[in-house]
Structure 1
Amino acid sequence: MEDFRAKLSGLLVVGLILGLAYLTVLLAGPKLFPLPFEIFSARLTPLEVGGEEFSPCAQQPVTPRQQVDAVETGPRNRITLHEINTTQLPGLGDSVIFLTTRSDDARLHLCDGSGQAVTTYYSGDAVPASRQPLQTAEVAFPLSLGSPDEAGLRYVLETRQPALLITPVKIMAAEAFHTRSRQTLMTRLFFFGGILSLVGYNLILGWLVGQWTYLFNALNTLSILFLDFYLTGVGPAYLWPEQPWLSNKVMVLSEAGPGIFAVLFAYHFLHPGDWRGLARRPVFYIWPLLNMIILACWVFLSYWQAALGVIAVWIAAAIAMIVVLVARARQGNERAQILLVPVVAVIVPSMIAGIAQQFTGWNLGRIGAHHAEITLVFEALLFTLTLAYLLTVTERERQAERRARIEVAERSKQQLLQRVDRERSRIAAELHDSAGQGLVTIVSRLRRAGRNGTGGKAGAVLQDVERETRYLLDDIRRISHDLHPAALDHLGLAGALKELRSRLAKSGDVRILLDVEPALELDRNQQLQVYRVVQELVSNALRHSGGDLINIQLTGESGKVIVEVGDNGTAGSAVNGEGIGLAVVDERAAILGGRFTIKQSPEGTRARLTFPASRPESRPESRKAQS
């Protein structure tokens, strides 16, 4: 065990080192992996936005000579206008201006000197691909710098976006842009293929081994993959090009995925298959519940409000899960320690880099174009390897549980054998004291009668011998009946229980009630086990309860057989059973595949045995117990 924990600690250190190295590579992307194409930052002059009706080409600068290289949008500035300054750009000729993040609606106005738009290009999530000027995954527009057709025209970029975003605007030569777009698309398709393969592997493996962990890992990876489809523009451009209404819905639903599936993955990783325990752990169920509430309220919210809500839940859930994992890892929880490895190696660094890129405009260099795909590949791969390692841990835990069950079974077997030996000793002593002594008495009296001849005294002696012999036969029949109820073979369960009730009722001033449902159909072994359970419980009640009423009921309900023995005593009859007693009753309940319970109250004691009416296939231990 110590060696295993040392290995886990080593894995955590390696994961932390990998995470720091991964974050360093991401944030140092421009220097480590410079872009192979020349990309220029656009110089934009912010323009005033009028009321509901305004002419984009006729608006004045907000602040003279102010220039920016990114568009800032949000709930307070849903519409932005920026004039593109082309004088500071080298002679690119045909070029392309594009936004590095998605936008609901982006427009490029070519304005003449009179403040009118000569041409307007449309792009963005709300625009079908067939209406966009360029067939590419980016929100992009063509520029013909230096072209006679566009000489003297001004370029005004209009964006309509309610979400809080900082979107850098770039300009490239047209040929370089299209080459870069093709290369980027092919690289993404390669990554997407690998990610889908890992998703399929987890789904198949989860189905084969019957573990929810693999399913939730696959669903979480799939939801982030669909989010990447949207963010990279592959979805709007190639997957649903003519259904622009799908874009925002895919974005919100995929952003809600990690807050649901990742949390359930972590829960089932730590507590495999324990669905009932989820309700007792709010730190796990609160995040999926909040996401479901937000999605239900989406009817009344705009998409960006729902997206903001699920992203907040996503971040809060990630922090909560990390805190839970760290706390449990410090307590020595091996599963938490295993799960922390991919968290510190990939998830935390990628979240930091993603937030820096998405909300601050940080340039990740050549890696930036494939940051999400690289993270997804590493995340899916590491989590899959973690799950594979979990199989080893699970098997080790199962072996430990199996050894513990074997030890318990051995102890129970020894205790049962000891009780059986004691019971045999009791039966032997009873045979010695009753049958043995009775036979000695009979022999002695017969010998005396032989010496006395055939007179009156001999007749009296023979009458005494006859009486003693009858008593002796009754004792032998009772002992024989205790060893095996012959009435069960001849009269069936109901008849045997009636005979048992009549015989036991004679032993004291106790009234015994019996109610057996006629429609019950039990096999031979079930009848024997039920008879023995009733015999033991009624005997205990007669000896210990101190009451004057015992009630026996056998009923069928919802495919189960219910055996109840109750008394109105106050001395705890069922608990104070002697001999093999309740230990054997528990064993018989296990043989029947059922459950035995005892409840005590001031009104008396009630013992209840429940087992399936249709007996399941016997397990090896059940067959051993029967033998």
Structure 2
Amino acid sequence: MPLFWRIFLLNAVILIVATALLLGPVTVSTPVLLTEAGILLSGLAVMLIANGVLLRIGLAPLQRLTWAMTTTDLLRPGRRPAASGHSEVAELIRTFNAMLDRLEAERATSAARALSAQEAERHRIAQELHDEVGQTLTAVLLELKRVAVQAPPVVREELHQVQETTRTSLDEIRRIARRLRPGVLEELGLTSALKALTDEFGSSALDVRHRIDGDLPHLDKDTELVLYRVAQESLTNAARHSGAHRVELALTRTPEGIELCVRDDGHGLGDAAEGAGIRGMRERALLIGADLTLGPGAERGTDVRLAVPTHHRSP
């Protein structure tokens, strides 16, 4: 029976019984006697309690649905509210769950297209940096070297300084190009790419170490790229924002698949809102059916974990 009719009939039954009693054996004196007031107040209390119990039972599924509506995050797929309650409420919950499924599928499709376009744009920019800007700076270096040979000693020293500045700029451009397009990932595989990534981030102020299992299962290109980008973003956040002195990158095999863990000893996430980098990691994780979790480390700092099932189903 619909909720409306259950509430209506309950109130109707109580009012009919009260009216029958007032017309029959129950009368009200003027002034009202204490016993009569007690009977009327008891009847009112019974009616209010009955309505309260019915509304509590009938609206409980709607309260769970409201909580699900306010806490749902398409980047963090979770459990759906159970389609409990009577027909109208259960149908509403099933409709909401179907809407969530459709929204998550549409978001996954649009995110896949956006990330694919992003990778293509990164590839193009890296190629232009390498082929155009890099070659131009190389030609400038050669020209500076030629001019320095013929220049007076005083000018020659200044030209050497310009050469060093140009060489530093060329190295920086090559480093940016490698980050935009991980050529080592395409040529040598994920293990070599992650080792090169940790070496690149390691410095005198930041100790970056890696631990990679040797018996990793075969992974497709999309999964390897997601693992690499998540590791890259995690190391970037640790180097720029965490104030860490030590970072450990681990890629291990698990019974379900593989797990990437990047742990630092910085000051942690705190109450800061998630930025575009973390949202990008979550979107990439959804593309390969992986589970991304960020939280405090065992002692301090931040743990970033990406659990990838071996046999996943891409959205």
Q: TM-score, normalised by structure 1?
A: 0.32
How far did residue 449 of structure 1 move? Answer: 9.7
2:216 matched residue in structure 1: 520
1:455 to 150, 166, 181: 150
1:568 to 255, 265, 287: 265
What CA distance in whole angstroms lies between the structure 2 residues aligned with 1:577 and 1:549? 23
Q: How does 1:466-481 map to 2 (within 5 A)?
A: 467-481=164-178
1:9 to 4, 10, 14: 4
SS at match of 2:189: helix
2:305 to 597, 604, 608: 608
Specify whether residues 577 and 483 from structure 1 end up closer, same or farther in structure 2 by C-alpha distance, changes over 3 A only: farther
How far did residue 545 of structure 1 move? Answer: 2.4
Whether 2:281 is the aligned partner of 1:585: answer yes
Equivalenced residue count is: 241
Q: Which amino acid letter does the alignment assign opposite residue 3 of structure 2?
A: L
Q: Which amino acid letter does the alignment assign opposite residue 327 of structure 1?
A: V
Whether 2:52 is the aligned partner of 1:329: answer no
Whether 2:209 is the aligned partner of 1:510: answer no
What CA distance in whole angstroms lies between the structure 2 residues aligned with 1:467 and 1:486? 26
What CA distance in whole angstroms lies between the structure 1 residues aligned with 2:265 and 2:287? 29
Specify whether residues 393 and 558 from structure 1 end up closer, same or farther in structure 2 by C-alpha distance, changes over 3 A only: same
CA contact (8 A) 2:11 2:51 kept: no
2:198 to 501, 516, 523: 501
| Greater share of residues in strand | 1
How far did residue 470 of structure 1 move? Answer: 3.2
Q: Which amino acid letter does the alignment assign opposite residue 169 of structure 2?
A: L
Q: Which runs of 5+ in 2 are unaligned?
A: 14-48, 63-83
CA contact (8 A) 1:574 1:605 kept: no
2:94 to 371, 383, 398: 398
Specify whether residues 534 and 472 from structure 1 end up closer, same or farther in structure 2 by C-alpha distance, changes over 3 A only: same
How far did residue 329 of structure 1 move? Answer: 2.9
How far did residue 397 of structure 1 move? Answer: 2.5
How far did residue 476 of structure 1 move? Answer: 2.5
Q: Which amino acid letter does the alignment assign opposite residue 516 of structure 1?
A: I
What CA distance in whole angstroms lies between the structure 2 residues aligned with 1:487 and 1:578? 30
Specify whether residues 492 and 445 from structure 1 end up closer, same or farther in structure 2 by C-alpha distance, changes over 3 A only: closer
What CA distance in whole angstroms lies between the structure 2 residues aligned with 1:332 and 1:528? 49
What CA distance in whole angstroms lies between the structure 1 residues aligned with 2:274 and 2:171? 23
Specify whether residues 609 and 445 from structure 1 end up closer, same or farther in structure 2 by C-alpha distance, changes over 3 A only: closer
CA contact (8 A) 2:296 2:303 kept: yes
Q: Which amino acid letter does the alignment assign opposite residue 220 of structure 2?
A: D
Task: Please identify the structure whose Cα radius of gyration is greater.
Answer: 1
Q: Which amino acid letter does the alignment assign opposite residue 492 of structure 1?
A: G
Any idea what the Cα deviations from partners look like across 1:190-233, whole Å, max 9, x if unmatched?
xxxxxxxxxxxxxxxxxxxxxxxxxxxxxxxxxxxxxxxxxxxx
CA contact (8 A) 2:252 2:260 kept: yes
2:238 matched residue in structure 1: 541
What CA distance in whole angstroms lies between the structure 1 residues aligned with 2:157 and 2:260? 50
Specify whether residues 442 and 325 from structure 1 end up closer, same or farther in structure 2 by C-alpha distance, changes over 3 A only: farther
Aligned residues: CA RMSD: 4.9
Q: Which amino acid letter does the alignment assign opposite residue 151 of structure 2?
A: G
Q: Which amino acid letter does the alignment assign opposite residue 150 of structure 2?
A: G
Q: Which runs of 5+ in 1 are unaligned?
A: 19-322, 337-386, 620-627
How far did residue 504 of structure 1 move? Answer: 1.1
SS at match of 1:329: helix
Q: How does 1:330-479 map to 2 (within 5 A)?
A: 330=56, 333=59, 390=87, 393-403=89-99, 455-457=150-152, 467-479=164-176
How far did residue 332 of structure 1 move? Answer: 5.2
CA contact (8 A) 2:3 2:58 kept: no
CA contact (8 A) 1:442 1:469 kept: no
What CA distance in whole angstroms lies between the structure 1 residues aligned with 2:213 and 2:50? 54
How far did residue 328 of structure 1 move? Answer: 5.1
Any idea what the Cα deviations from partners look like across 1:553-581, whole Å, max 9, x if unmatched?
11112223121111122x22698699631
2:290 to 577, 590, 594: 594
How far did residue 592 of structure 1 move? Answer: 2.6
Specify whether residues 577 and 464 from structure 1 end up closer, same or farther in structure 2 by C-alpha distance, changes over 3 A only: farther
What CA distance in whole angstroms lies between the structure 2 residues aligned with 1:582 and 1:530? 14
Q: TM-score, normalised by structure 2?
A: 0.58
How far did residue 464 of structure 1 move? Answer: 5.6
1:551 matched residue in structure 2: 248
Q: How does 1:193-212 map to 2 (within 5 A)?
A: none
SS at match of 1:561: strand
Q: How does 1:102-121 map to 2 (within 5 A)?
A: none
What CA distance in whole angstroms lies between the structure 2 residues aligned with 1:591 and 1:492? 20
Any idea what the Cα deviations from partners look like across 1:214-265, whole Å, max 9, x if unmatched?
xxxxxxxxxxxxxxxxxxxxxxxxxxxxxxxxxxxxxxxxxxxxxxxxxxxx
SS at match of 1:531: helix
How far did residue 469 of structure 1 move? Answer: 4.6
1:166 matched residue in structure 2: none
SS at match of 1:333: helix
What CA distance in whole angstroms lies between the structure 2 residues aligned with 1:528 and 1:574? 29
1:532 matched residue in structure 2: 229
What CA distance in whole angstroms lies between the structure 2 residues aligned with 1:578 and 1:394? 34
How far did residue 394 of structure 1 move? Answer: 3.6
What CA distance in whole angstroms lies between the structure 2 residues aligned with 1:523 and 1:574? 35
CA contact (8 A) 1:445 1:461 kept: no
What CA distance in whole angstroms lies between the structure 2 residues aligned with 1:562 and 1:556? 6
Specify whether residues 504 and 328 from structure 1 end up closer, same or farther in structure 2 by C-alpha distance, changes over 3 A only: farther
How far did residue 497 of structure 1 move? Answer: 0.9
Q: Which amino acid letter does the alignment assign opposite residue 548 of structure 1?
A: H
